Amino acid sequence: MTIKEALDTSFDMEKQGYDFYIKASNKAKSAAAKKIFQALAEDENRHIDAIKKYSENLAGDLAMPKLSIAMPEHADINKRLLFGKGPKEALKGISADSGQLKAYEIAMDLETRGYNFYEKAANSIEDKNIKELYKFLIKEEKAHYSIIASTYDYLKAPQDLFFKEEKSIMEG
């Protein structure tokens, strides 16, 4: 896989994720669900902007930018969504209708496919700056998957999240 092919595929995947998260946010019934999907869309948009910078440099035969230049610093998605709250408190108000569950299932699939592709790209590309981008994207996809899966699990069985929180307190 060439760098151009990897960047083009990455751009398409992030754009697909962005479009999906915007649509899911607009359809979400609860403020908490809207907030989750909006945060995911914001991250996908940041990824798109970074990938564009790398693609533009590649097209102009310029050196690849450092990640810190292509991707401005931002708070981790968990910090932005939880604001110091526990998962149970942060997820309060999200309802488990079948459409909402399906949206989280699709989101988990998008993030898994992104993670797998970025891992493959990171392992097959030699350019250290591009490799750094893909390692960053791997970390982001993993964080996205984690928040989506936690929300999905909560929607399927809210009592289990309560038990997990209580159990961790009991275990010390």
pLDDT in tens, 45-69: 999 999 999 898 888 877 766 666 6
pTM: 0.80
Q: What's at 82, amino acid-wise? A: L
Q: What average pLDDT is seen over the chain?
A: 81
What pLDDT band is residue 155 in, cutting at 50, 70 and 90? confident
Q: Which residue range forms the structural domain that includes residue 62?
A: 3-171
Domain CATH code at residue 163: 1.20.1260.10
pLDDT band at 156 (very low <50, low <70, confident <90, very high): confident
Tokens encoding 137: 């994207």
Q: How far apart are CA 63 and CA 53, in angstroms?
A: 11
Q: How many domains, in total, are found in the chain?
A: 1
- Residue 44: pLDDT over 80: yes
